[in-house]
Amino acid sequence: MTGQLIFNLINIQNFNSEDFYVSDNNLEASELIKLWPNWFNGGAVIIGPEKSGKSHLANIWKEKSNAKIYDLNVKFSLSKINTKENFVVDNFNNLSEFDEEIFFHIYNRTVSNKKNVLITLDKTKFKNIKLKDLKSRFNSFSSATIKPPDDNLVNALIVKFFQDQQINIDPSVISFIIKRIERDFGTISRFLKRIDDLSLENKSKISISFLNKFFDF
- Whole-structure pTM value: 0.82
Summarize pLDDT for 165-174 with one digit per residue, the tens. Answer: 899 999 999 9
pLDDT above 60 for 10: no
Proportion of the chain in helix, strand, coil states, percent, rounded to 5: 50, 10, 40
DSSP 82-112: -TTS-EEEETGGG--GGGHHHHHHHHHHHHH
Residue 125 has pLDDT above 70, yes or no: yes
Range scoring the smallest mean pLDDT among 11-15, 46-50, 102-106, 153-157:
11-15
Percent of the chain whose predicted confidence (pLDDT) is above 70: 93
Q: What is the predicted pLDDT for the residue at 169?
A: 92
- Is the model's pLDDT at 141 over the cut of 50? yes
State residue 217's pLDDT score: 64
pLDDT category, 146, cuts 50, 70, 90? very high
The CA distance from 217 to 215, in Å, is 6
Distance CA 190, CA 30 (A): 24
Query: Over pLDDT 90: what percentage of the chain?
Result: 83
With 0-12 / 13-18 / 19 or more C-beta atoms within 10 angstroms meaning exposed / middle / buried, residue 215 is: middle
Alpha helix stretches (DSSP H) within 76-207 = 100-112, 132-140, 151-164, 171-178, 185-202
Is the pLDDT confidence value at 7 over 60?
no
**Per-residue pLDDT tens over the stretch 29-71:** 999 999 999 999 999 999 999 999 999 999 999 999 999 999 9
